[in-house]
Structure 1
Amino acid sequence: MTGRFVVVGVGADGWASLSRSARDELARARVIYGSARQLDLVPSDVAADRRAWRSPMSEHLADLVATSVDDVHVLASGDPMFHGIGSSLVRMAGSERVTVFPSPSSVSLAAARLRWDLAASTVVSLVTAPVETVRLHLADGARLLILSKDGTTPALVADLLCGLGFGASTITVLANLGAHDERRVTGRADEWNDGSPALNVIALECVGPAVPRAPGLPDAEFANDGQITKQPIRALTVSALAPAEGRLLWDVGAGSGSIGIEWLRQLRTGRVIAFESDPGRAATVARNARRHGVGDRLEVRSGAPDAFACAPTPDTVFIGGGMTAEVLAAVWSALADGGRLVANAVTLETERLLVDAAAAHGGDLIRVSIDRAAPLGRSTAWRPALPIVQWNVVKGEATA
């Protein structure tokens, strides 16, 4: 296909927001696609055939990319490359077929209205993600710019903040940015009761507890039935898994999902597939992931090791519960060259599997024992937990 896509970002003030070059592009267009609201912003003297997106828009866009042989002009809101259709078109059609004429994005306008340093603010999109996603970015003193799904989003964010000890945070809702009826409402999260227009951006100035980013959250932060990697070992294990952006982790025998969730908390773009055969625990993994704001990046599957065959190739693997020789062999086979495998063993049987695997493939074996101080009558004594044997190996590295 040889058709070129010209994407023009339009502000809420319509034609007046466009540069001369963007206007010239639309003036020469034969066909313009956009939402009904966007198409109404184009003056009547532009002679192009105007076509509104059919639902679902994603399917319509995919059909257009697959069949277009002539130039097509597309309207977008604000900056098409910021959570917009421009990014989708580049992904589908290739960058060489896409030209973009941007207008200021909603967060650029919000930062300008508030006099915020945009580079020092965190942008969070709730257009498709659950409201719990905000939790991942909360910290005392942080500034967040949140893209709302609709007019109900500010109240949902306020409820979340109150439940996490951030009720004193300041919420500013900026609605219809750039339009003649632009509106701003400010208030505390624990006093929020304002209804909001559908098109809005939430500016959040966080006031609340210090939130640690390092792995090793308290065990009580995860719903569990006792099948959980305990806090000190979890911190050690997540560090050993070496979280890196854009990577896919398999969490095999996920239990409560604590390892995969803490791994994702270190990243903006990582993904996890959690393999858990017990239906109750699988539901707990998904619930814990949503609660910690990473539910949109964690998928739960059952049926290991058979399910490995239809899962995407992992960059990193953790094996916790349910380790057998079959699971270990299947994971090693599936792991990409250069990928990392970390496995924890508690029993003599699983420890023996790791010793044999290390002899065959190399890597590092460590044994970790944690003692905690606990009452012993009127005194205090050390209570040892079960020791953990951990194997950490990168596939393809020379055998030690």
Structure 2
Amino acid sequence: MPVLPVTVVGIGADGWAGLPGGSRDALREADVLIGGPRQLALLPGECAGERVPWPSPLRPAVPGLLAARAGRRVAVLASGDPMFYGIGRTLSEVLSEVPSEAMSAPLGADADADADAPRAEALRVLPHPSSVSYACARLGWPVEDTEVVTLVGRPTELLAAALHDGRRVLVLSAGAATPAEVAALLTERGYGPSRMRVLEQLGADERHTEALAQDWAEPAGDPLNVVAVECRRAPDAPRFGAVPGLPDTAYEHDGQLTKRHVRAATLAALAPAPGELLWDIGGGSGSIAVEWMRTHRSCRAVSVERDPARAERIGRNARALGVPGLRVVTGGAPGALAGLPVPDAVFIGGGLTVPGLLESCWDALPAGGRLVANTVTLESEALLAEWYRRLGGELVRLAVAHAVPVGGFTGWRQAMPVTQWAVTKDHPPRVPSVGVPSAGEER
């Protein structure tokens, strides 16, 4: 049977009146109309198809929902642009997994159509202006210069990673309570002077309210809202940059912290790229995993820490620095590594001499995966030297000294040097070279 498109129609708060002719036709002709109760209520009686509200949880129900209506014209309603943080993404991913025989035939399709048509044709999307487009139009903000953070089904702490003085941020709200939660987070993180504007029912009966985050006292309004933030950092608030190497004071820790300069060098060696997954072994304070995830919103990390108190601390640091999605596994490696998803990179900040740890991490890496290990002990350094001899890569010693008072003068205080081994799997072995650079400390 030929693959057939499920039609996804974007609809705004203005409902039927705001839809173009093509979208109206698709909804009139549909045998089945699927959407949220609010969206379905926006349709007039001339849309006579069976109305099916989304179940909860939504994603697991999609394949069965579509399979049960095979052979019928299916239209799905979505808020605004379905492919921008919308149901379009979920449908695209789910439809690619559904066997073609479970799909209905396309409207107007030839019965002799190619049964092996590309699965991309399983979805037909008719977009509507997104809430971001509406908000930027009302505010006069260029869309390309505006950071967007969605809190729909996500923790408010995600916003923390987007806070930089002078930046404009649009927050897609989870409901009526979101503006107050955003104001509280901004104030707590030192961005109380930020100007907040809440735009409700964009494209319909709009209502706008505004105040500084630190002065926010508005009652909960319409659940369909977007929060616009013009970020202003309080004079006494810490400044966090966008690259690895945050101040050590950004972290809660008990001394088990990869210090700032070594942390920056370590992240450079790990070389995070969008969508990649890191294993952070011997998490300590979680600083490596946190800053890996801060490099791009799609970066993921698992921090493995055997000490329960430190594991809890890693979670607090992740939430404070805007990456609440950091997964923390409490347990000792290599045992705690069993069942974890395949990593793109592994960082070992402690426990190098535990039997089987390096072997387990190396075996877990796919071709092209990176491994970086830091140590300050002679025993672990000898182990890294042996692996370097066998597999190549880079072996460097990082040394950092800080200027400190010496009586009425100033002198240098040397931190313990850190030996770092960095290697890419399938990296061709090379003859060790003589002489290497400097800078650091270990967690």
TM range (shorter): over 0.9
The residue aligned with 1:280 is: 309
- d(CA) in 2 for partners of 1:113, 1:381: 57
The residue aligned with 1:87 is: 89
**Which of residues 227, 230, 243 is equivalent to 1:205?**
230
Give the counterpart letter for 1:88 in structure 2: T
The residue aligned with 2:246 is: 217
- What whole-Å deviation, never above 9, does each CA across 1:235-289 have from its counterpart, x for those lacking one? 1111111121111111011111001111111112110011111111111111110
Deviation, structure 1 residue 376:
3.5
Deviation, structure 1 residue 297:
4.2
The residue aligned with 1:306 is: 335
Deviation, structure 1 residue 108:
0.8
**Which of residues 82, 95, 99 is equivalent to 2:124?**
99
The residue aligned with 2:45 is: 44
Deviation, structure 1 residue 110:
0.7
2:185 matched to 1:183? no
- d(CA) in 2 for partners of 1:298, 1:176: 36
Whether the 8 Å contact between 2:290 and 2:326 is mirrored in structure 1 is no
**Which of residues 136, 142, 154 is equivalent to 1:117?**
142
Give the counterpart letter for 2:181 in structure 1: L
Structure whose residues are more often helix by fraction: 1
- d(CA) in 2 for partners of 1:66, 1:291: 43
**Which of residues 261, 264, 282 is equivalent to 1:235?**
264
Secondary structure (helix, strand or coil) at the match of 2:423 reads: strand
- What whole-Å deviation, never above 9, does each CA across 1:76-114 have from its counterpart, x for those lacking one? 111111111111000110332111111111111111111
- What whole-Å deviation, never above 9, does each CA across 1:139-177 have from its counterpart, x for those lacking one? 111011110111111111112222222222110100111
The residue aligned with 2:393 is: 363
Identity %: 48
Comparing 58-67 with 122-131, greater Cα deviation is found at: 58-67
- d(CA) in 1 for partners of 2:330, 2:189: 29
The residue aligned with 1:389 is: 419
The residue aligned with 1:250 is: 279
Aligned residue pairs total 399
The residue aligned with 1:6 is: 7
- d(CA) in 2 for partners of 1:237, 1:244: 14
Comparing 2-11 with 131-140, greater Cα deviation is found at: 2-11
Give the counterpart letter for 1:186 in structure 2: E
- d(CA) in 2 for partners of 1:16, 1:163: 42
Give the counterpart letter for 1:318 in structure 2: F
Secondary structure (helix, strand or coil) at the match of 1:399 reads: coil
Deviation, structure 1 residue 55:
2.4
The residue aligned with 2:36 is: 35
2:295 matched to 1:266? yes
Deviation, structure 1 residue 190:
1.5
Whether the 8 Å contact between 1:65 and 1:93 is mirrored in structure 2 is no
Whether the 8 Å contact between 2:307 and 2:330 is mirrored in structure 1 is no
- d(CA) in 1 for partners of 2:57, 2:364: 35
Give the counterpart letter for 2:175 in structure 1: D
Going from structure 1 to structure 2, the CA distance change for 1:335 and 1:65 (only over 3 Å counts) comes to: farther
- d(CA) in 2 for partners of 1:50, 1:77: 17
The residue aligned with 1:315 is: 344
- d(CA) in 2 for partners of 1:182, 1:158: 21
Whether the 8 Å contact between 1:273 and 1:301 is mirrored in structure 2 is no
Give the counterpart letter for 2:392 in structure 1: G
Secondary structure (helix, strand or coil) at the match of 2:356 reads: helix
Whether the 8 Å contact between 2:329 and 2:336 is mirrored in structure 1 is no
Comparing 50-59 with 70-79, greater Cα deviation is found at: 50-59
2:336 matched to 1:334? no
2:167 matched to 1:142? yes
**Which of residues 127, 132, 135 is equivalent to 2:152?**
127
Deviation, structure 1 residue 375:
3.1
Give the counterpart letter for 1:37 in structure 2: R
Deviation, structure 1 residue 303:
3.8
- d(CA) in 2 for partners of 1:157, 1:276: 31
Going from structure 1 to structure 2, the CA distance change for 1:214 and 1:35 (only over 3 Å counts) comes to: closer
Secondary structure (helix, strand or coil) at the match of 1:295 reads: coil
- d(CA) in 2 for partners of 1:97, 1:330: 41
Deviation, structure 1 residue 301:
4.6
Secondary structure (helix, strand or coil) at the match of 1:350 reads: helix
- What whole-Å deviation, never above 9, does each CA across 1:349-380 have from its counterpart, x for those lacking one? 11011001101111010011212222344443
Whether the 8 Å contact between 1:338 and 1:395 is mirrored in structure 2 is yes
- d(CA) in 1 for partners of 2:315, 2:329: 7
- d(CA) in 2 for partners of 1:175, 1:185: 9
2:194 matched to 1:193? no
- d(CA) in 1 for partners of 2:139, 2:25: 33
Comparing 372-381 with 231-240, greater Cα deviation is found at: 372-381
The residue aligned with 2:191 is: 166
- What whole-Å deviation, never above 9, does each CA across 1:205-224 have from its counterpart, x for those lacking one? 11126541121112121111
Comparing 370-379 with 343-352, greater Cα deviation is found at: 370-379
Deviation, structure 1 residue 57:
2.4
Deviation, structure 1 residue 67:
4.5
Secondary structure (helix, strand or coil) at the match of 1:310 reads: coil
Give the counterpart letter for 1:188 in structure 2: L
- What whole-Å deviation, never above 9, does each CA across 1:4-57 have from its counterpart, x for those lacking one? 311111111111111111111111111111122211111112221111122222
**Which of residues 376, 379, 385 is equivalent to 1:346?**
376
